[in-house]
A and B are shown apart, each in its own frame.
Chain A
Amino acid sequence: MLTQGIRRYRWWILASAVALVVLLFLPGLMSAFHTRVAQLILMSAGLALAWSILGGFSGYWSFGHTAFIGVGAFGAALLETKVDLGGPAANLVVGLLFAGLVSGVLALVIAYPLLRLRGIYFAIAMLGVSQVLGELVATLDWFQGSLGIVLPRLAPRDIEPQVFYYYLFLGLAVLTLVIGFAIKVGRIGYGLIAVREDEDTAAMMGVPTEAYKIFVFVISAVLTGMIGAAYAHSLGYITGESVFRVDFSLNMIVYALLGGIGTLAGPIIGAVIMVVLTQVLLGDLLDIHMLATGALLAVLVLLAPKGILGSVQGLLRSRRSPPRASKPAAGEAPP
């Protein structure tokens, strides 16, 4: 199915490859500020994609994905400050892998009971999990969540940190995109769409819903954890407050919804728009930037309710006649 998928999406993949090449050369052309904005976009896109692998494909909306950012960040920070791994390169590789491992194990432990919950109940349960972990990290001295941890430097002295982290987040975003693509075009992807549309029927038809859900939950957590560890390094100093943030959880959903949920391009588009808006266009509005962001969100929901991809698709479709009623399979159009 993967090869089929690749064949079907070959132009799509080609375009991504071209985009990737452009992105690889961008830091040489951009100012430090724009590199930093791009770094933030790549991180946000990576996070929104990782969230989408669970939330977009299977319809299990997590309101607490910041739990994995925090666990990844603190996992890496604690490992690297307590154990001498032998240099920045080792810190980078081992730290990120460890962050992914810790997040993945956590996800695996909570997956079975939590994924039995549906809809808003799953969402709230994840919110609860993230709050419990955030509070524990802040409360128990061993985690140093309230005093904070200074992370070892990763970027070599002669490379500007924003360029270094640009590439790190680019790598992680690409990894997330590739994994997301493989899942989407694979058997699991179709199984998840069935779960999203009607889980009981899917199970009745022989889709191993439980296993699929747990699989994508863990994958999503691993990727989120790794991005969380990279985020911690890019800040250099973290407290519980800087990684266990409700707004992280909400932003991932906002980006995915804004771009078009259930798609891979959607979360990326959403992240680009929101980061550019909040950091670049509205960054100077000293005391009304929240007002502007909020108003924009409300307007987008009302004017582009199916996300940007959905609206564009709708526009394209309405120009063609007759409307393609039979063509699109479930899950292809944004829900």
Chain B
Amino acid sequence: MIDRRLFMKGTMGAAAAMGVGATLGGGFARPALAQEKTVTIGGSIPLSGRAAETGLNVHNGYLTAIKYINEELGGVEIGGEKVKLELQMVDDASDPARATTLIQRQLDDGIDFYLGSFGSNIVLPTAAIVDRAGKPMVQTGGGSDKIFTQGYKYVFGFYPRATRQFLSTAAFFGSLEPKAKSFSVVSTNDAFSKTFAEGAKNDCTAQGLTLLKEYELPAQITDTSSVLSSIRATPPDILVCTTHDQNSLLIARQMIASGTNVNLLYQALGPQLASYREALGKYANGITGATYWEPGVDFKDKIFGDTKTFEEYYRRNFDRPLAYHTAGGAACIVTYVTAMQNAGGLDPAKVRDALADIDIMTMYGPVKFTADGDADPLVMGAKVFQIQGSEPVIVFPGEAAMGKASYPTKPWGERT
């Protein structure tokens, strides 16, 4: 039989282990130096697992802004004091239980300001905790409508809610010359892709396009040959893929390698990555995607001065190619700092009010939130870019455009 003693040891072991945790957890918050005030910003980010590539990009954005503030500016002036910033991010590995536990530790350690994770099923449970604790969270990783309809007061997102994200892209499709008539939608079985696809169907239909077919795929795909056969049989003018990076690349590759041509291929995620463009080479030219920022568009910024300085500073310090997620991450910090300055101090509730009122220009572009906390779709909505000469070129909306969209795009075999 199991020894009774052993069982007792088990339960006492539990208590002891928690004790160990207590001591270790206690040493977590580092005391600020006496003469220098430091504000810590916490949060979790996926650095392993499926979302790690984007997680790393966002994380680099945070790091860039904080490094610049501390090393180049020697801190920022908040409420009459010079303040330095400290970043304490943990890897949540896209596991909601892990994320909530680790966020709770940061709350216990007295961290007052949070950045968000990536993926709505992580962002929402963590948002619930920080909102209940009355601490603000600014995130660039969750766009699901459900995050912004819970009545949270402290949670702000850098993207418009998912159902509003497609408006500007649909307007782009409507503006094409010669007129595009039909479209098909490819989506996968996850919250982001599915909501986005709903938005795409509604908004494109409103633009007068006809929906030919919709294809729903499993969340992870290894083969799309049968979907592509169907597309070859009934080709739409525009193929809209609301898929994640790896799936998008797979679809594009298989389209090229099976001679599946459409007048325009649009992929919500994927084309913004340098690795995607590199993998497809000349075939990438003509593919369109959504972006919230591109290098080369110059905005004024309170911290960096302008976008160009940000880009140069990033390239001096990091090897990874710049992605819009990186710029978004840096802009989260700029937004936080501005809100703290406007609030005149570090009281979380006052900073929250300042965030709600914020209406500024950053190196990422203008930042303004709706009353529900998601990004204002008119101010921060997606821009459409097309890959031209292996570089992303913003083609819509007109005021931000750096070039003109080519439509219809050439068949794969004729691309140069």
Q: Which residues of A are interface residues toward B (Cβ below 8 A)? A: 8-9, 11-12, 15-16, 19, 22, 26, 30-34, 36-38, 40-41, 135, 138-139, 145-148, 150, 161-162, 231, 235-242, 245, 247, 259-260, 263-266, 268-269, 272-273, 276, 278-281, 283-287, 289-290, 309, 312-313, 316, 328-329, 332
Is B400 an interface residue when CB atoms closer than 8 A count as contact?
no
Of all chain B residues, the one with the shortest Cβ separation from A5 is B1
- Contact partner of A148 (CB less than 8 A), chosen from B7, B24, B95, B120, is B120
Question: Could you say which residues of chain A place their CB within 8 Å of the CB of B20?
Answer: 276, 280-281
**Interface-central residue, B21, B48, B108, B121, by most chain A CB under 10 Å:** B21
- In the complex, how many angstroms separate the beta carbon of A172 from the nearest chain B beta carbon? 15
CB of B21 within 8 A of CB of A12, answer no
- Alpha-carbon gap, A99 to B189, bound state (A): 24
- Contact partner of A31 (CB less than 8 A), chosen from B93, B108, B193, is B108
A11-B4, A279-B101, A287-B91 known; A146 vs B21 contact (CB < 8 Å): no
- Contact partner of A146 (CB less than 8 A), chosen from B1, B104, B191, is B191
- Alpha-carbon gap, A139 to B188, bound state (A): 9
Tell me the residues in window 220-278 of chain B with beta carbons closer than 8 Å to chain A beta carbons: none
CB of A268 within 8 A of CB of B11, answer yes
Question: Could you say which residues of chain B place their CB within 8 Å of the CB of A241?
Answer: 121, 190, 219
- Alpha-carbon gap, A280 to B128, bound state (A): 21
- Contact partner of B15 (CB less than 8 A), chosen from A9, A22, A313, is A22
- Contact partner of B24 (CB less than 8 A), chosen from A245, A264, A269, A280, is A280
Tell me the residues in window 138-194 of chain B with beta carbons closer than 8 Å to chain A beta carbons: 144, 146, 150, 189-191, 193-194
CB of A236 within 8 A of CB of B105, answer no
Q: List 15 A-B contacts (CB under 8 A).
A: A31-B25, A32-B108, A33-B25, A145-B189, A147-B194, A147-B195, A148-B120, A239-B120, A265-B10, A268-B10, A276-B21, A283-B102, A316-B3, A329-B1, A332-B1
Of all chain B residues, the one with the shortest Cβ separation from A263 is B2
For the residues of A in contact with B, the DSSP-based class is helix
- In the complex, how many angstroms separate the beta carbon of A38 from the nearest chain B beta carbon? 6
CB of B48 within 8 A of CB of A235, answer no
CB of B2 within 8 A of CB of A265, answer yes
Question: Could you say which residues of chain B place their CB within 8 Å of the CB of A313?
Answer: 3, 6
CB of A276 within 8 A of CB of B18, answer yes
- Contact partner of B105 (CB less than 8 A), chosen from A278, A283, A312, A329, is A283
CB of A272 within 8 A of CB of B104, answer no
**Interface-central residue, B93, B104, B129, by most chain A CB under 10 Å:** B104
Of all chain B residues, the one with the shortest Cβ separation from A149 is B146
- Contact partner of A36 (CB less than 8 A), chosen from B1, B6, B11, B101, is B101
